[in-house]
Chain A
Amino acid sequence: AQRVTQPEKLLSVFKGAPVELKCNYSYSGSPELFWYVQYSRQRLQLLLRHISRESIKGFTADLNKGETSFHLKKPFAQEEDSAMYYCALTRYGGSQGNLIFGKGTKLSVKP
């Protein structure tokens, strides 16, 4: 079955602490992975995708095919990082139509 698992519903850290939001996937083909973010009272938006291999707002994510994981990391969390984070996947090189989302992790960064 094709599935994205985000094991933590809620992750709470203090400002300046490292943060890692976990994402594991199950996919029969070659996947393309994404992280989406939804800040309070804002729309869901793309944060980053594995194929770009870039750092956005200090966040990075590396696709580990051996462990079927795509964890999102930031070395020093900021209060403005507090949001709902969703991991998603689709077939690499294909249509985006079948984006499969995890259930999300709510990140709370305390001052």
Chain B
Amino acid sequence: DSGVTQTPKHLITATGQRVTLRCSPRSGDLSVYWYQQSLDQGLQFLIQYYNGEERAKGNILERFSAQQFPDLHSELNLSSLELGDSALYFCASSVGDRTYNEQFFGPGTRLTVL
């Protein structure tokens, strides 16, 4: 599959714990975006990386951090987890970072915090 991949598909953990979500962009895409989708907030942009550098930041909590590695895959780290962090986390990628570059979404990682 040459599309965006995300691992794991599902993650169940407890409050106070730390997890890492992984995203591999489409081949050739330099830009990676992270989104959080929850029932009450909808789909919210968290952060964007382009070729290893942070490019844009949304409403990302300080407990959350991300990075993009030299091979262009990205990881989203969520720490001191709270019940409210339970959500679907999407990764998307695009060739460039301009509005005319279509974003391709991954299948998402469903995080459940108990």
User: Which single member of B3, B55, B103, B104 contacts A99 (CB below 8 Å)?
Assistant: B103
Chain B positions 47-67 with a Cβ under 8 Å from a chain A Cβ: 48, 55-58
Stretch among B17-25, B75-83, B93-101 lining the A interface: B93-101
Interface of A is mostly: mixed
Minimum CB distance partner of A101 in chain B:
B43
Number of interface residues of B (CB under 8 A): 28
Interface of B is mostly: strand
Number of interface residues of A (CB under 8 A): 23
Flag whether B8 is at the interface (Cβ < 8 A): no
Query: In the docked arrangement, what's the CA distance between A104 and B42, Å?
Result: 8
**Contact between chains at A97 and B44 (CB < 8 Å):** no
Query: In the docked arrangement, what's the CA distance between A44 and B55, Å?
Result: 22
Interface residues of A (CB under 8 A from B): 32, 43-46, 49, 51, 86, 90-104
Report the 10 A-B pairs with minimum CB-CB distance, sorted nearest first: A97-B56, A97-B48, A103-B42, A101-B43, A44-B105, A43-B105, A95-B97, A32-B99, A46-B102, A96-B99
